[in-house]
Structure 1
Amino acid sequence: MTVRIVLAGVLAGVTATLGASARAQAPTDPQIVGIVLAANQIDIDAGNAALAKAHSPEVKAFAQQMVTDHSALQKSVKELGAKLHVVPAPSPTAASLKSQAATTAARLKTLHGDAYDKAYIDNEVAYHQAVIDAVSNVLIPNAQNAELKNALVGAAPAFQGHLKHAQMIQTSLH
């Protein structure tokens, strides 16, 4: 139970970081690209860890989907950035996401079996919801380049699909 409470606190921090911090100072296009790359890498890393630790075949399949889908998106974002001559820039939001992801990964590393599966999926539900909110409310409205804005809009259905899939697994695990 303590792990779940601590994990919930970390997830609340991710939501606050993606939303409030980005709204406080509107991100530039280079920072938006940096935030998207950081967010994708976090989910790729979490998926790879889950592939090694997850117990449930359903959770492992979800983790593989996260690695596959976010790796493809990562490649697309890098290609779009290069095409638009937008070099990813650091931002407080990206730095905070990375820091919080490291904290979450360290906590998940201490769990095993069903406890790990539940905590990983709980994290994925909260993380995807936070990303969807940030993309919709912060990144898309602040993207200046039309192609970048369209790419963010185009990625939204995939994030929604990941969230719904994670929620279905979450229901089956609890």
Structure 2
Amino acid sequence: MKKITLIAAVAIASVGFAVQAEQQMNDLEIAHTAYTAGGLDIRYAHLALAVSENAEIRAFAETMIRDHSAVNDAAGALISELNVTPQDNDLSRALVAGAAAKRAELMALSGAEFDCAYATNELGYHQVVNKTVAESFIPAVTVAPLKALLEDALVTFQAHEKHAEHMVAALQCDG
């Protein structure tokens, strides 16, 4: 039952993210949303390091912190270079609200139950974010350096998605 609930929550969040991303967003809103999504995944990873004792989960969480921090640092440098201010928007606010609820749900778990929930969330999160970046953000961005940053980050985040998929399978979370 918890597995079905988790899948339903990921699906609902995914649909909400995809629908909101389809609305016309400008470059500054896209930049803010991408930065926000990366920051939220860093927070999930810190939670995993605090809760999980599983070596694979911990290694994945460390990778999330390293890679998402690197992309967010590059985004921050680009923002400074371009002398612009990213714009908060409905999608970034929805991501923050959804992440708060997901963190509360994850914090109530421990052991293998936490590990599966974290891995499943990471898989769903990366699937949705990667699809949104590839199909909505990159085509819509008009500033070449931001487009290049998103394209480079997408390659890394697609690798994260594959890694999360392997974790879910190895942990036998679907059973």
TM tier relative to shorter chain: over 0.9
1:85 CA displacement: 2.2
Q: Report matched runs for 1:16-31 at 5 Å.
A: 16-23=15-22, 25-31=23-29
1:151 CA displacement: 1.1
The aligned counterpart of 2:82 is 84
The C-alpha deviation readout for 1:62-112, integer Å capped at 9, x for no partner, is 011101111111111111111122311111110001111111100001111
The aligned counterpart of 1:35 is 33
CA RMSD for the aligned pairs? 1.1
* Runs of 4+, deviation exceeding 3 Å: none
Please, what TM-score do these two structures have when normalized by structure 1? Answer: 0.95
The C-alpha deviation readout for 1:14-67, integer Å capped at 9, x for no partner, is 3123211121x2111110111011100110000000001012111111011101
In 2, Cα distance between equivalents of 1:54 and 1:9: 23
Moved more, 98-107 or 81-90: 81-90
In 1, Cα distance between equivalents of 2:66 and 2:111: 23
Q: Report matched runs for 1:39-78 at 5 Å.
A: 39-78=37-76
Please, what TM-score do these two structures have when normalized by structure 2? Answer: 0.94
The aligned counterpart of 2:9 is 10
In 2, Cα distance between equivalents of 1:166 and 1:129: 10
1:10 CA displacement: 2.5
The aligned counterpart of 1:108 is 106
SS at match of 1:123: helix
Q: Is the 8 A contact 1:13 1:100 kept in 2?
A: no
In 2, Cα distance between equivalents of 1:39 and 1:92: 13
In 2, Cα distance between equivalents of 1:60 and 1:30: 33
> Which amino acid in 2 is paired with 1:151?
L
Cα distance change, pair 26–46 in 1 and its aligned pair in 2 (3 A)? same
Q: Is the 8 A contact 1:7 1:104 kept in 2?
A: no
In 1, Cα distance between equivalents of 2:151 and 2:20: 21
In 2, Cα distance between equivalents of 1:31 and 1:12: 23
1:145 CA displacement: 0.7
In 2, Cα distance between equivalents of 1:98 and 1:13: 15
Structure 1 runs not aligned, ≥5 long? none
**Identity of counterpart residues, as a percentage?**
34
SS at match of 1:90: coil
